[in-house]
Amino acid sequence: MIQRFFRLLCWQLLISLACALPQAAHAAEGTVEITRAYIEAAEEGYRLSAGYSFELNHGLEDALQSGVQLYFTTEIEFTRPRWYWFDEKAIAAKRTYRIHYDVLLRQYRVTIIGSVQQTFSNLEDALFFIRRPTRWVVAPRGALKVGEVYNVTLRMGMDRDYLPKPMQVNAFNNSDWRLASNKKTFQYRAE
């Protein structure tokens, strides 16, 4: 009787491990890696130069092919440390990209919300436009105090808040719809 119990326990352990391994590997797929991030001072202001690495899983690709628009948001924040109080939040900015597949024209459209729209013939080119964005002016000249050191926090990922309401329930409960980076923090001395 005890041997059967231990044998059953071992089988349950093996089955649970076998089920957990694909999920762990699949969770690593659902991440965005920030491969490059730095700030440049230019005439018009402070620009973010960034690069991201990610792949869409099959569920997201299928949704895109079915006409669902996907949104990717980059958030950046400049804070200045203060010893006597909370850190000063100098700049907080957001930029959202929308990718959409036009079934009739068989083209992908990528739009920077409130700005430019571009058309691509294949998904890889459309994703490349999102992964290697143009230098984005995150703040005008004079928004930062020259010579001060700021902590810059950057984050990028799929924004599920833009999805249609019925799909949001599925997206928040389904790990296939989680595609986001960890926060990347670096320092910048204002010029």
Segment 165-189, tens digit of pLDDT? 777 777 777 777 888 999 999 999 9
- Number of structural domains (the chain) is 1
In-domain check, residue 22: no
Residue 79 domain-assigned?
Answer: yes
Dist CA 132 CA 150 (whole Å): 24
Distance CA 132, CA 177 (A): 22
Q: What type of residue sits at position 47? A: R
Q: Is residue 115 part of a domain?
A: yes
Confidence band of 6 (pLDDT split at 50, 70, 90): very low
Let me know if residue 157 belongs to a domain.
Answer: yes
| pTM across the whole model | 0.78
* Structural domain contains residue 13: no
Q: Token match 């730095």: residue? A: 38
Q: Is residue 25 part of a domain?
A: no
Nearest partner of 68 among 177, 181, 179, judged by Cα: 177
* 76 lies in some domain: yes
pLDDT value of position 20: 41
**Tens-place pLDDT, residues 9-58:** 433 433 444 444 343 333 345 689 999 999 999 999 999 999 999 999 99
Range 6-11 contact pairs with CB under 8 angstroms and sequence separation of 24 or more: none
Could you tell me the maximum CA-CA distance found in the chain, to the nearest angstrom? 80
Which of these, 156, 109, 153, lies nearest to 131 by C-alpha position? 156
Residue 40 burial (CB count, 10 A): 13
Helix (H), strand (E) counts: the chain: 4, 9
Report if residue 160 sits inside a domain.
Answer: yes
For residue 165, the enclosing domain spans: 32-189
pLDDT digits (tens, 9 = 90+) for 60-100: 999 899 989 999 999 999 999 888 888 889 999 999 999 99
